């Protein structure tokens, strides 16, 4: 499970399929603009304060194939730059108060030059069983300070598509939401930064300039 429809073996009625896809896709992209470059994506991650470790508490809901509903949990999410800013590394660890691991995993995001989009892949274990997933960035709504992904996960022999959003509430608070593309209830989490408060001004200008130079050199 991871915080970004079936693979059809037999085509359903074309009219029904197109109607359901249009209903799902139309609201998904409204207000979200894809970055024009990897540099733009990374700078947004830095300026919005997304880099760091985040923690939340809650109760699981029926969302991910490998995670049952009704478990009280604590989760930590990590976001960091890797390989001189050419990748973003995501991690998560979710467990009960007794130490039972509900879900753990990691993923990496990069710039796909052919499609000119940010893509990511992820894998891990939900209650001891493997899941795999991949995401495509839908876009960023800078006004609302939100980012949105289209995530596809395969777990326990089942493939499901999701929309995942993360919204900046303040320098040290985020709200992240996952919902199946097919609709239904969402899983909402409010996360708090671990390790102290950060400045509302975000990352320093000098760091951004150094990061831009590195990314240009590695094009």
Name the helix (H) or strand (E) containing 216: helix 205-217
C-alpha angle with apex 215: 163 to 44, nearest 5 degrees? 40
Specify if 8 maps to a domain: no
- Domain membership flag for residue 23: yes
The answer to whether the beta carbons of residues 165 and 185 sit under 8 Å apart is no
Instruction: Tell me, yes or no, whether 3 lies in a domain.
Output: no
Flag whether 2 is in a domain. no
* pLDDT digits (tens), the chain, 219 positions: 666 433 333 333 343 334 444 444 444 467 899 999 999 999 999 999 999 999 999 999 999 999 999 999 999 999 999 999 999 999 999 999 999 999 999 999 999 999 999 999 999 999 999 999 999 999 999 999 999 999 999 999 999 999 999 999 999 999 999 999 999 999 999 999 998 665 444 444 554 555 555 555 555
Report the distance separating Cα 145 and Cα 148, nearest Å: 10
Over residues 153-183, the pLDDT tens digits come to 999 999 999 999 999 999 999 999 999 999 9
Please state, in angstroms and rounded to a whole number, the distance separating the CA atoms of residues 63 and 69.
8
Domain of residue 162, residue span: 14-217
Nearest to 141 by CA among 20, 48, 38: 48
Does residue 193 lie in a domain region? yes
Number of structural domains the chain divides into: 1
106, burial (CB in 10 Å: exposed 0-12, middle 13-18, buried 19+): middle
In a domain, 6, yes or no: no
CATH number for the domain spanning 185: value is 2.40.128.20
User: Is 98 a domain residue?
Assistant: yes
């Amino acid at each position: 499970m991871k915080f970004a429809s079936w693979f059809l073996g037999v085509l359903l009625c074309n009219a029904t399929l197109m109607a359901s896809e249009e209903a799902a896709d139309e609201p998904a992209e409204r207000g979200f603009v894809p970055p024009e470059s990897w540099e733009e994506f990374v700078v947004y991650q830095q300026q919005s304060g997304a880099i760091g470790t985040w923690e939340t508490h809650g109760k699981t809901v029926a969302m991910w194939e490998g995670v049952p509903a009704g478990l009280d949990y604590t989760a930590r999410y990590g976001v960091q730059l890797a390989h001189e800013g050419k990748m973003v590394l995501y991690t998560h660890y979710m467990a009960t108060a007794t130490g039972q691991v509900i879900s753990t995993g990691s993923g990496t995001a990069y710039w796909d030059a052919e499609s000119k989009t940010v893509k990511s892949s992820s894998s891990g274990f939900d209650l001891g069983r493997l899941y795999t997933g991949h995401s495509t960035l839908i876009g960023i709504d800078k006004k609302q300070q939100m980012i949105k992904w289209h995530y596809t996960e395969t777990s326990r022999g089942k493939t499901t598509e999701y929309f995942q959003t993360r919204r900046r509430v303040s320098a040290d608070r985020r709200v992240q939401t996952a919902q199946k593309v097919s609709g239904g209830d969402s899983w909402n989490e409010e996360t708090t930064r671990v390790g102290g408060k950060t400045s509302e001004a975000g990352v320093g200008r000098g760091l951004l300039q150094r990061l831009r130079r590195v990314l240009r050199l590695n094009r």
